[in-house]
Amino acid sequence: MLHEPRFCDLPPAQVWARLLDDGVYLASISTIYRLLRAQGESRDRRRQRTHPARVKPQLVATRPNDVWSWDITKLPGPDRGSFFDLYVILDIYSRYAPGWLVAPGESAELAEAFIANTIARVGVAPGIVHADRGSSMTSKPVAQLLVDLGIVRSHSRPHVSDDNPYSEAQFKTLKYCPAFPERFGSVHDARAFCVAFFDAYNHEHRHAALGLHTPASVYYGTASEIRVHRAIVLDQAYAAHPARFARPPTPPKLPTVAWINQPTPEARIQTR
């Protein structure tokens, strides 16, 4: 009876009630459930809508401006429940932030202008722009801008924060900064804080993943020269006191690649 065309997509309670209205009693609702479970048919019996699996983004950057990552985070405002929106673009190879913006709110039009202005100020368009699936990130204005500029658009899978690790890590660095306040008194206060933070982050912070160079040094190509100078200083220290070292010291290596979800060779997305 449960497999009949008129009942095959109905839940047990519906079947039981309709049979009873027809003057037929076969079993209780709980018994119908038990019979369906025994046959492995206790799931929703209706035809289900299916969605194709989201493709895992696999991006590789071997130089600055190959891949940019961007995201928006909330900065606490003066009152409980009030926030300002911080937009940040990161170059994943160098961790350099070429653009940031603090605004009273979030909108697709503001996101489009922010990305366009950053590209214009830098003077070069990235090969790929990666983001999560927020409303501004997937908006038509942003998508059309990237199409017009010939930039490949990439998005994280839904509810997978690891697909946008560089932006997430940078936001953590910002919010764990000792100077980060409990609340910002105004949008102007938030902007003043970000001016100081991003100047220090780009030009003073020595990043462990960058061979202890600053993001700006890697982004603008001065890291190699600085590494040569470091090697000279270490050679001099070794020559003066060789007993203090187990082996001749060398400065940390410079990065050669950065990736989001390290791709297999056959799945690698070429950015150029």
pLDDT in tens, 162-214: 889 999 999 999 999 999 999 999 999 999 999 999 999 999 999 999 999 99
- Domain topology for 65-205: Nucleotidyltransferase; domain 5 (3.30.420)
Count H helices and E strands in the chain, helices first.
8, 7
Angstrom distance (rounded) from CA 83 to CA 75 = 5
Kindly report, residue by residue over 100-148, the tens digit of the pLDDT. Answer: 999 999 999 999 999 999 999 999 999 999 999 999 999 999 999 999 9
**What pLDDT was estimated at residue 20?**
87
Q: pLDDT at residue 48 above 70?
A: no
Angstrom distance (rounded) from CA 110 to CA 77 = 19
Angstrom distance (rounded) from CA 202 to CA 227 = 18
> Would you say how long the chain is, in residues?
272
Kindly report, residue by residue over 147-161, the tens digit of the pLDDT. Answer: 999 999 999 988 787
Q: pLDDT at residue 50 above 70?
A: no
Residue with tokens 């009873």, as numbered in its chain: 20
Q: Where are the domains of the chain?
A: 1-50, 65-205
Kindly report, residue by residue over 238-271, the tens digit of the pLDDT. Answer: 999 999 999 999 999 999 999 999 877 654 444 4
DSSP H/E element including 19:
helix 12-21
Find out whether 100 and 170 touch, Cβ atoms under 8 Å. Answer: no
